[in-house]
Amino acid sequence: MGRIIPTYRLHLESILNDWMDYRRALREKDRETFDRVVSKARQHASAASYCAHMDPTILAILSVLLEMEREIETLKRERSSFEPLSTLRADS
């Protein structure tokens, strides 16, 4: 019989299971943050599946970085939309 190649999603879940000891060692508030980060890795599992030649751990970290960058850009846009208001208040 032929061998079955595990999907990226299976690799990702295996990686995340390996990280559970680390999670258990975190404080409660840090565990919540950790869970949000892990969720970010899962959000891009479909895209990461196309890169079967890469290390799944790198793909998981890249997915997290991508989501964090999106959040940073959103915060920058929100901040820049409020800056003119704060400048007007400072001038008055």
- Give the per-residue pLDDT at 4: 75
The CA distance from 26 to 30, in Å, is: 6
Looking at residue 27, the DSSP 8-state letter turns out to be: -
The CA distance from 92 to 83, in Å, is: 15
pTM of the predicted protein model: 0.73
Looking at residue 36, the DSSP 8-state letter turns out to be: H
**Tens digits of pLDDT across the chain (92 residues):** 566 778 889 999 999 999 999 999 999 999 999 999 999 999 998 888 888 777 889 999 999 999 999 999 999 999 988 776 656 565 55
What phi and psi values does residue 38 have, to the nearest 5 degrees?
A: -60, -40
The CA distance from 27 to 22, in Å, is: 10
- Give the per-residue pLDDT at 53: 74
Q: How many CB atoms within 10 Å of residue 17?
A: 9
- Give the per-residue pLDDT at 91: 55
